[in-house]
Structure 1
Amino acid sequence: MTARLDAKFAALAQQGRAGLVTFLTAGDPDPGTTLELLTGLPAAGADVIELGMPFSDPMADGPAIQWSSLRALKAGQTLAKTLDLVRAFRAGDDTTPLVLMGYYNPIYVYGVARFLADAKAAGVDGLIVVDLPPEEDDELCLPALDAGIAFIRLATPTTDDQRLPKVLANTAGFVYYVSITGVTGTATPDFDKVGAAVARLKRHTRLPVAVGFGVKTAAHAGAVARGADAVVVGSALVETVRTSLDAEGLATDKTVPAVLGLVRELAAGVRGAVRAA
């Protein structure tokens, strides 16, 4: 749907490897640190960036991302400030795809038409909005597609073959396969089942398939990368942010190096994976 996402996944296919998709929450622990992390991610090995839109009730997320949202909100992060971060990132990087991920409520409050116009102008390539099912496509999905912003849908282990076509109907950019049942960051995927699930999705769509939820280490990332088009890591990164903070919850001189160091490890795991035939 968007040039940056299409170009990135085409380049990954040409290189014969999976991509690394990294998630951070905007404004965690403060906007300046987020921007420093964003600008460092591509060089550390991130192929696509997901930026979380903080929300007070992130029901699909486990404790690590819930806490990151609360830290960001406490620091004064808003949806408008999140778009400011995207603009600042785009000032120095016009090629790395950036996707906003979160919940519908902040977008609804902002105003859908205004949000899509501002997001497009800021340089947002896609949206993942976890609480809008296909039955609600008129709310945001179709307007986003009309605005030239990919609407990236989640598929889960419980999405059966009857439901899958509806889930995929207006999906663009890539399909995000949730590798576990439950919330983010709380379990480790069964990597054999992940491979089979990706193969099943590929029978229904030509879109790239990215796999996330539960990927914490370079070994995990490498295992997923053998069969998926991309590996998504979020909870492990925001937990690294948390453990680097001082007693008041503020960033330290360890925060940025710790997060980018983990990204480099994950990227090495992804790049070292032997792809399934």
Structure 2
Amino acid sequence: MIFTDESTKKLVPYVTGGITGDWADCLRAYRDNGADAIEIGLPFSDPMLDGPTIQEASDRALARGATLDSILTEVRAMRAEVPLIVMTYTNLAIRPGFCARLADAGIAGLIVPDAPLDEVTPIRDAANAAGLDLIPLVAPSTRPDRLRDIAVSAQGFVYAVSVLGTTGERDRLDAGAGPLAAAVRALTELPVLIGFGVSTPEHAAAAVRDADGVVVASALMRRLLDGASPAELGAMVARFRESTRSGTGVRAPESV
């Protein structure tokens, strides 16, 4: 289980593994500034779901020589004290022993955005055998029947993609994000978090009116690519943390 406390809105900041020499300090800074969990992106040469910022972050990490081994070695060496979630793509996730290696490093969850529901069973089985939650994504284009199927099989939390598009910073939170989160919340007791385009604390505050929390990725990576230190990213996470405190996270009781 990724989250054990249902009394607060959830904040999950992201970092690309290996993007800088001190990237693991970002994990500590995020933790110390209120992250409920942290998403670590494995750098990938062709990240089909990621926009320019995360692609640039992956390119920089790969140019530095980051590998799965080097990233997991650094993760294993630190005491995160919050759940860590890896995001990667299918051709890595299906490798024998991959999920076991994540679990051995202390990873609690896995996101594989290009694995469709109809084909995800082998990855889910491997993840569950290693003690990992496989976290699904839903999008504004997800059909109602498929939304139900995803919600029923979900683990950890449901990642609600706010837009039809790739990751990236945006000027405003898409109007469809709230209705999508509300629709999923009606189908599952797991937390529903909005991601993709949550670029400012104001976006986060708006998102948690309908969702149980937010994932913040490109906004943080843009600052890191532009030279921000882990401490400066931590301060940014603290602002997002404060913006999500407007809601209690407790769901209203069902009417009878």
On whether the aligned pair clears a TM of 0.5, the verdict is yes
Equivalent of 2:91 in 93, 105, 116: 105
Q: Which amino acid aligns with 2:19?
A: D
Which residue of structure 2 lines up, in the alignment, with residue 124 of structure 1?
A: 107
Give the secondary-structure state (helix, strand or coil) at the position aligned to 1:100. strand
- Equivalent pairs: percent with the same residue? 38
Which residue of structure 1 lines up, in the alignment, with residue 190 of structure 2?
A: 207
Deviation at 1:205, TM superposition (A): 1.5
Q: Which amino acid aligns with 2:184?
A: L
Partner Cα separation in structure 2 for residue 274 and residue 83 of structure 1: 34
Name the structure where helix makes up a greater proportion of residues.
1
Q: Could you say what the CA RMSD is over the residues aligned between the two structures, in angstroms?
A: 1.8
Deviation at 1:273, TM superposition (A): 4.6
Deviation at 1:131, TM superposition (A): 0.9
Equivalent of 1:235 in 208, 212, 218: 218
Matching of residue 269 in structure 1 with residue 243 in structure 2: yes
Assess if the C-alpha contact under 8 Å between 2:54 and 2:221 holds in 1. Answer: yes
Partner Cα separation in structure 2 for residue 237 and residue 6 of structure 1: 22
Equivalent of 2:116 in 116, 125, 133: 133
Q: Which amino acid aligns with 2:90?
A: Y
Deviation at 1:274, TM superposition (A): 7.2
Unpaired segments ≥5 residues, structure 1: 245-253
Partner Cα separation in structure 2 for residue 182 and residue 265 of structure 1: 26
Deviation at 1:29, TM superposition (A): 2.2
Equivalent of 2:9 in 9, 18, 21: 18
Q: Which amino acid aligns with 2:20?
A: P
Partner Cα separation in structure 2 for residue 181 and residue 98 of structure 1: 26
Equivalent of 2:150 in 155, 158, 167: 167
Partner Cα separation in structure 2 for residue 231 and residue 163 of structure 1: 22
TM-score by length of 2: 0.91
* Matched residue count: 250
Matching of residue 86 in structure 1 with residue 75 in structure 2: yes
Partner Cα separation in structure 2 for residue 260 and residue 155 of structure 1: 28
Partner Cα separation in structure 1 for residue 111 and residue 91 of structure 2: 13
Give the secondary-structure state (helix, strand or coil) at the position aligned to 1:68. helix
TM-score by length of 1: 0.85
Deviation at 1:186, TM superposition (A): 4.7
Assess if the C-alpha contact under 8 Å between 1:141 and 1:170 holds in 2. Answer: no
Q: Which amino acid aligns with 1:134?
A: L
Which residue of structure 2 lines up, in the alignment, with residue 249 of structure 1?
A: none
1:138-149 correspondence to structure 2 within 5 Å: 138-149=121-132
Which residue of structure 1 lines up, in the alignment, with residue 232 of structure 2?
A: 258
Matching of residue 64 in structure 1 with residue 53 in structure 2: yes
Deviation at 1:141, TM superposition (A): 1.5
Matching of residue 179 in structure 1 with residue 155 in structure 2: no
Assess if the C-alpha contact under 8 Å between 1:151 and 1:170 holds in 2. Answer: no
Unpaired segments ≥5 residues, structure 2: none
